[in-house]
Structure 1
Amino acid sequence: MRELSMTEVQQKAVEILLYVDDICRKHDLKYTIFYGSLIGVERHKGFIPWDDDIDIVMPRSDYDKLLHILQGDTHYNLLAFETREKFRYPFAKLVDPNTTVKTTQYFGGEDPGLGVFLDIFPIDGIPETKEQRERFRQITEQYRLNMMDTLNHCYARSYSLPKALGKLLLRYPYHRRLLKEGSYTDWRNLYQKEALSIPFGSTEYCGYLEWIHIDWGVFPVKWFMEYEDVEFTGHKVMAIKARKDFLTLRYGDYMKMPPEEERVTHHPYRFYEKDR
């Protein structure tokens, strides 16, 4: 296998994004490029130079419709609860099937089909008050962690091999107790039931559930009502009109470049082109 350069990874990720963009426009589905990728739009008109993936978020109903379409797709592989008996993440990844990854995380529980990907996050309704949100997040986060800790050896995940091996032994009794309370599938179903319990738009606020305990993870629903085209690597893609409000909330002065030592990818992956 040949290792892909950062430029090659970014090019392949853009191809996946444009493929999804075309589907969304044809089916009147709304998405917005988001998180660090949205900084890329505003600051670089494309990727943050050291970033190796693209994030989009979608209201849950549009997310579900997109995943239904992608399940029968032959161009890219959809990794999600809907297509995998066991999957680590409560969001979807659309993957270039001609690529693969090696990760520096031990016992990470990554899907063997992972390659260059586009992250697709669902945005769900969340409670109105901070206290209600904190309780809601505690429940969903515990289900998410239990789901991961019952997924193979994922309970021992670590970026350090000695720590991973130590966890494999020391956390095994916890892993066994957790399995007696419920299987991976049980915890996943509980997570999904809770995640879907507050429909998007039924309250004034929304978010991706893993991060709603922090101020920058809570968004007004109205932010996701208006969209426009923005430039990303010379292409037109969708973004919310309120993107500067989000970027200021999340990153502060998002146009300022970080210190040079922080200009590194946050993923533990090296990407490769598969042998043909």
Structure 2
Amino acid sequence: MDDVMLRNVQLIQLEIAKEVKRICEQNNISYFMDGGTLLGAVRHKGFIPWDDDLDFGFTRDNYEKFIATAKKNLSSEFFLQTWDSDREYGYAFAKIRKKGTIYQERIAQDSDANCGIFIDLFPYDNLPNDKNKRRKLITKLTFLKMLLKTKVNYKPWMENETINWKRWMIYLPVRFVSQFVSKNRIQKHYMKIVKVANTEKSELIYPQVAEKLGVWAMKKEYFSKYISLKFEDTFFSAPVGYKEFLTDGYGDYMTPPPIEKRKNIHGIIKIDLGSK
């Protein structure tokens, strides 16, 4: 993807982000810029120049309120993609996609899921205070996420142009098990497990995109309130503890990575910006 195409994709993602902001502000739903989007806001006042996506996060209660509200209020230009609205979709978090566009990821090229240009919406749930319970929770959820991807014909071992044989071997038993369990059963089991610590007075929350113990586990105090930070031409919500959040996630976040690591990560193999 050349720089001009990437910028055009980013501008469509920004358009989607403004729609999320509109819905949240009109319906008193708290949200925040997440991951590389938050980093971009702080370090670049917008997109990281080589970043190919945009992320928002929500605590679980706000996430569920947003999904329910967006089903009724989302502009007709966009599609709210969840594992319920798109039965071929294989993630435990939502995306909003721009209709009439294509943004095909390599790992999902054999899936029939909607593949328009998107932004990610990540629900954050509590992590158990007990480390052993925490480890068991992440292990179970990671396996269920792998089952979901396999069930809808995603191929995570194809993130690059060649097969990652180590990952292919890891998924081999998962592919076998997936033949004997329905997608509905996987989803129900996942939702039962993921909320198990949400009634605890936990010190940590984490997003459903995380698949390793400790990765993106954040202190709840970072989200005690929200502030506004500029991102491109718009101000979006950010956690008040955004500096600590970024330090936990990236370390020295104000120093860009070396040039060889400045690349997009989604393995996009086909792009169509649609009609303007």
TM-score category (smaller protein): 0.7 to 0.9
Mean Cα deviation higher: 234-243 or 96-105: 96-105
- Alpha-carbon RMSD: 3.0
Mean Cα deviation higher: 69-78 or 42-51: 69-78
Superposed CA offset, 1:12-35 (max 9, x none): 111111111111111111111010
Matched position secondary structure for 1:98: coil
Picking from 92, 95, 98, the partner of 2:94 is 92
Is 1:251 matched up with 2:223? Answer: no
* In structure 2, distance between residues paired with 1:139 and 1:222: 26
8 Å contact from structure 1 (residues 107, 164) kept in 2: no
8 Å contact from structure 1 (residues 228, 241) kept in 2: yes
Gap change, CA 1:164 and 1:257, over 3 Å in 2: closer
Partner residue, 2:207: 208
Q: CA deviation at 1:184?
A: 2.0
* In structure 1, distance between residues paired with 2:174 and 2:146: 13
Partner residue, 1:32: 32
Count of aligned pairs between the two proteins: 271
- Describe how 1:1-276 pairs up with structure 2 within 5 A: 5-72=5-72, 73=74, 74-105=76-107, 109=111, 111=113, 113-151=114-152, 153-154=153-154, 157-159=157-159, 163=163, 175-180=175-180, 182-199=181-198, 202-211=201-210, 213-269=212-268, 270-274=270-274
Matched position secondary structure for 1:154: coil
Give 2:70's aligned amino acid: L
8 Å contact from structure 2 (residues 147, 175) kept in 1: no
Give 1:98's aligned amino acid: G
Q: CA deviation at 1:159?
A: 3.8
Q: CA deviation at 1:233?
A: 0.4
Q: CA deviation at 1:179?
A: 2.0
* In structure 2, distance between residues paired with 1:108 and 1:214: 30
Calculate the TM-score normalised by the size of structure 1: 0.87
Gap change, CA 1:108 and 1:251, over 3 Å in 2: farther
Q: CA deviation at 1:223?
A: 1.6
* In structure 1, distance between residues paired with 2:24 and 2:262: 32
8 Å contact from structure 2 (residues 9, 273) kept in 1: no
* In structure 1, distance between residues paired with 2:119 and 2:99: 12
Gap change, CA 1:177 and 1:203, over 3 Å in 2: closer
Gap change, CA 1:16 and 1:184, over 3 Å in 2: same
Give 2:143's aligned amino acid: Q
Give 1:198's aligned amino acid: A
8 Å contact from structure 2 (residues 107, 154) kept in 1: no
Q: CA deviation at 1:162?
A: 6.7
Q: Which runs of 5+ in 1 are unaligned?
A: none
Q: CA deviation at 1:98?
A: 2.4
Gap change, CA 1:189 and 1:9, over 3 Å in 2: same
* In structure 2, distance between residues paired with 1:97 and 1:219: 33
Gap change, CA 1:117 and 1:210, over 3 Å in 2: closer
Matched position secondary structure for 1:5: helix
Superposed CA offset, 1:221-273 (max 9, x none): 22222101110002111000101001111111111111111111111114212
8 Å contact from structure 2 (residues 128, 200) kept in 1: no
* In structure 1, distance between residues paired with 2:45 and 2:218: 24
Matched position secondary structure for 2:107: coil
8 Å contact from structure 2 (residues 142, 211) kept in 1: no
Q: Which runs of 5+ in 2 are unaligned?
A: none
* In structure 2, distance between residues paired with 1:163 and 1:224: 40
Calculate the TM-score normalised by the size of structure 2: 0.87
* In structure 2, distance between residues paired with 1:164 and 1:108: 17
Mean Cα deviation higher: 156-165 or 92-101: 156-165
8 Å contact from structure 2 (residues 126, 197) kept in 1: yes
